[in-house]
Amino acid sequence: MTTVDIPAGWPATEEQARAVQDELRAKTVLDEPGPPPGTGRVTGVDVAYDDERDIVAAAAVVLDAATLEVVAEATAVGRVSFPYVPGLLAFREIPAVLAALDALPCPPGLVVCDGYGRAHPRRFGLASHLGVLTGLPTLGVAKNPFTFTYDDPEARRGAWTPLLAGPEEVGRALRTRAGVKPVFVSVGHRVSLDNACAHTLALTPAYRLPETTRRADALCRRALRAATTGPEVREAY
DNA sequence: GCGACAG
DNA sequence: ATCTTGTCGC
């Protein structure tokens, strides 16, 4: 496990953060199909918080895309870098996520984020941001529709409907388990929407959420618990 | 102006 | 995200 510092020049206000998004958005690559589903490696990233102690823990878990077996994993712990503000989630999660990715012993391949990419008020969500910063292909799978609208997809697994920002399709509501609430998929960087959905289905053989995010979620919670129970914290009592 | 709002 | 036990069901 590694420790993270808040990067120099990291936005301190919402206004600065929005300016960063507006500047980086132009670097998003949307015309690449991305790696074929079921091949190479797929990495899940997620973050857990202890706002009380101002601690954040991130995890990156690399899976073999064909077998979904864990190939490598890494965690990072640090200080919370930004408050939670809808639309600015990336500024809260990215420093720790970058550190976890850096700590991996192998290339991450495609990165699956817990949240949105293009489906974002300024079309630059967490997955887009992480993609532009790392150059890696990224996509976002969110559990909630945020401010967007959608029609309920058919009940069968694989069914989907457009996720809409007014008239604009910013992602898809994708059914990963028959009869269960869909997930909300959007493109991050260097991946097509069709491919993003195909990857999401390949990663959900048994549960609603991708194996990548399930693994990363479990790991970052463990890391947070360890950081909160570790020697340096116990001494404070 | 007020409320809603990924995690 | 996080606070949180038991409980219904495959």
Query: pLDDT tens digit string along A174-214?
Result: 999 999 999 999 999 999 999 999 999 999 999 999 999 99
Indicate whether A184 belongs to any domain: yes
Here the CATH number for the domain that contains residue A171 is 3.30.2170.10
Amino acid at A164: L
Indicate whether A72 belongs to any domain: yes
The answer to whether some atom of strand C lies closer than 7 Å to the beta carbon of A114 is: yes
- A22 annotated as ligand-binding: no
**With the C-alpha atoms ordered A71, A31, A148, A92, is the resulting torsion angle positive or negative?**
positive
Indicate whether A185 belongs to any domain: yes
pLDDT score at A204: 96
Of all nucleotides, the one whose C1′ comes closest to residue A88's CA is B6
Rounded to whole angstroms, how far apart are CA atoms A213 and A133? 20
pLDDT score at A236: 40
- A151 annotated as ligand-binding: no
Nearest Cα neighbor of A21 from A78, A94, A77 is A94
Q: How many C-beta atoms lie closer than 10 Å to residue A168's C-beta?
A: 12
Per the DSSP assignment, residues forming a β-bridge with A169 are A164
For chain A, which ranges sit under pLDDT 70?
Answer: 230-237
Indicate whether A167 belongs to any domain: yes
Indicate whether A153 belongs to any domain: yes
H/E stretch holding A21:
helix A14-24
The answer to whether some atom of strand C lies closer than 7 Å to the beta carbon of A217 is: yes
| Residue A17 belongs to domain spanning | 2-232
Q: N- to C-terminal Cα distance for chain A?
A: 24
Residues in chain A: 237
Structure tokens at A205: 């053989």
C1' of B6 to CA of A158 (Å): 22
pLDDT score at A230: 61
C1' of C1 to CA of A208 (Å): 19
Q: Are strands A2-4 and A70-79 parallel, antiparallel or unpaired?
A: parallel
Indicate whether A56 belongs to any domain: yes
Q: How far is CA A101 from CA A1, A46, A59, A157, in A?
A: 11, 11, 8, 31
C1' of B2 to CA of A121 (Å): 19
| CB environment A75-90: b (16+ within 10 A), e (fewer) | bbbbebbbeeeebbbb
C1' of B2 to CA of A18 (Å): 22
Domain count across chain A: 1
Nucleotides on chain B within 7 angstroms of protein Cβ: 4-7
User: Which protein residues have Cβ within 7 A of any strand B atom?
Assistant: A 46-47, 49, 84, 86-90, 114-116, 120, 125-127, 140, 142-147
Nucleotides on chain C within 7 angstroms of protein Cβ: 1-2
pLDDT score at A5: 76
Indicate whether A237 belongs to any domain: no
